[in-house]
Amino acid sequence: MMESCPAEKRIGIIGGSFDPIHIGHLIIAQDAAERLELSEVVFIPAAIPPHKQHLQRIDAEHRLNMLKLATETDMRFSVSDIEIQRGGVSYTVDTLKALRDVDPDAALFLIVGSDTLVDLHTWHKTEEILTLCDVATFLRPGEDSVEAIAEKIRLSTGQREQLLRNVIAAHRIEVSSSEIRMRLAGGLSIRYLVPPEVEMYIYEHSLYQG
């Protein structure tokens, strides 16, 4: 009798500041898990995001704790502190290589939004990133069409075609971390914008307020 081959392990990766994590992040992760048939979605908070080095962030420990609280009840989701432990500017290419070393046979999917896709040419070692993973772009209703996005991608024809194969429709969630920070600073409620556990953590530690 022939032995059955194990199913391919498919891992989604969502990176960012997560300052703080909100329901939009979680819904995109769920869309990705379903549409890409992922085994796991890993949230990876950056130590220092390359394109946001000038912005002030709360301590990495708080961002990591909020991520763990937000994802702990969903078995599909996990959190990695790989970039925080590495320190310095968090380049995606370094993270992908580290994940490849741990699980060389897994299929990696870098989950991004359409705004990130058109800026991909500005990333550190973009060409190498495209050899290490598939980039899955989630397009929300009301955003540019695939054709309009294609015209903005400043990469080679082959790379553009590779990227456009994984453009996927997602839910439209008009929530941002910057909006949550502004609401907190202004004394407004963030209920329903973040998971209850994250809301409680923010108030317990007086984050973003004043």
Position 117 scores a pLDDT of 84
Q: Which of 11-20, 169-178, 182-191 has the lowest mean pLDDT?
A: 169-178
Four-way CATH pick for 10-174: 1.20.80.30, 3.40.50.10070, 3.40.50.620, 1.20.120.1760: 3.40.50.620
Q: What is the pLDDT of residues 162-179, one digit of tens each?
A: 888 888 888 878 899 999
Position 143 scores a pLDDT of 66
Omega before 20 cis (within 30°)? yes
Q: What is the pLDDT of residues 52-64, one digit of tens each?
A: 766 678 999 999 9
- pTM for the full model? 0.91
Q: Which of 10, 17, 54 is nearest to 36 (CA)?
A: 10
pLDDT, greater one: 67 or 119? 67
* Domain locations along the chain: 10-174
For 154, the 3-state DSSP assignment is coil
Q: Which of 159, 79, 78 is nearest to 117 (CA)?
A: 159
Position 1 scores a pLDDT of 37
